[in-house]
Copies of this chain bind each other. A is one copy, B any other.
Amino acid sequence: METKLPTFNSVFSVDCVIFGFEAGELKILLIERNEEPYKDWLALPGYIVEQDESIDNAAERILYELTGLRDLHMQQFHTFGEVNRHPQGRVITVAYYALIRINGQKELKPITQYAKSAFWHPVNELPKLAFDHSEIFQTGFNKLRRRLNYQPIAFELLPEKFTLTQLQSLYEAVLNKKLDKRNFRKKMLSYGFLKELDEKQKGVSYRAAKLYKFDRRKYTKIFQNELSVEG
């Protein structure tokens, strides 16, 4: 007894809010659109989901095609479904976010023609974005901020080896407030998932700081209980 689903002129898309951290500043990944509507506008990397791919897979594919980045662990955070959010018809969009280290080596380079370019932009002083992308970004940023309070997601944004001061300024950038140096260090070190290295910072004209690494194995061991409730 196979009935038919209704056919609407409706599509799903995904949009990606990708955070990076560079030169003491929190940034997100934007593209310059090369397609109507909103041609030449800045936008979050996003596109339409194919009929035969899951939205999770679509998110990975689309990010790759528009920016050249792949293999990030993106997570869905909200779905935007207002009727008129897209001028050409009914499009609901599932928004994903991820945090990555900005790696000067990896070039940002759109694979498709839909984007003219992809680049990092500081989260402060964002220009107006295409569609409702400003709202999507803001929702994602709030999510990130709240999440930082119970998960050490900051490590995804830093280079493999980092100083405690870098870690702290990342926290300060995300939370948008000053933290106390001594308390911050004490707390971070007390978690036990930071590995102190025998190396020091290079190329600074002041006392060089010790470098640390994030020890994912220890982290997982410590937090597996809390994470098992993850939905």
Question: A residues bordering B, Cβ < 8 Å?
Answer: 1-12, 35-36, 39, 48-49, 51-56, 58, 76-79, 81-83, 86, 88-92, 94, 138-143, 145-146, 229-231
In the complex, what residues of B have CB within 8 A of residue A139's CB? 231
B49, A88: Cβ atoms under 8 Å?
Answer: no
In the complex, what residues of B have CB within 8 A of residue A79's CB? 55, 76, 79, 94
Known: A12-B12, A58-B81. 7 other contacts (CB 8 A): A6-B48, A10-B10, A10-B11, A77-B231, A141-B231, A142-B230, A145-B229
In the complex, what residues of B have CB within 8 A of residue A86's CB? 5
Expressed in whole angstroms, the Cα–Cα distance for A92 and B230 within the complex equals 22
Can you sample 15 A-B contacts with CB below 8 Å? A2-B88, A5-B11, A6-B11, A7-B9, A8-B51, A9-B51, A12-B12, A12-B81, A52-B83, A55-B81, A58-B81, A76-B79, A138-B231, A140-B231, A141-B231
In the complex, what residues of B have CB within 8 A of residue A231's CB? 77-78, 138-143, 146
Supposing A12-B92, A79-B55, A81-B12 touch, asked if A229 and B6 sit within 8 A by C-beta, the answer is: no
Supposing A36-B2, A88-B2 touch, asked if A142 and B78 sit within 8 A by C-beta, the answer is: no
- Which of chain B's residues has its CB closest to A3's CB? B36
Expressed in whole angstroms, the Cα–Cα distance for A1 and B38 within the complex equals 11
Query: What 9 pairs between A and B have smallest CB-CB spacing?
Result: A55-B81, A142-B231, A79-B79, A5-B89, A139-B231, A8-B51, A143-B231, A1-B36, A54-B82
Supposing A83-B52, A230-B142 touch, asked if A88 and B7 sit within 8 A by C-beta, the answer is: no
In the complex, what residues of B have CB within 8 A of residue A142's CB? 229-231
In the complex, what residues of B have CB within 8 A of residue A55's CB? 79, 81, 92
Expressed in whole angstroms, the Cα–Cα distance for A131 and B51 within the complex equals 19
Kindly provide the distance from the CB of A182 to the nearest chain B CB, expressed in whole angstroms: 25
Kindly provide the distance from the CB of A140 to the nearest chain B CB, expressed in whole angstroms: 7
Expressed in whole angstroms, the Cα–Cα distance for A157 and B230 within the complex equals 23
Expressed in whole angstroms, the Cα–Cα distance for A190 and B163 within the complex equals 40
A90, B51: Cβ atoms under 8 Å?
Answer: yes
Expressed in whole angstroms, the Cα–Cα distance for A24 and B51 within the complex equals 45
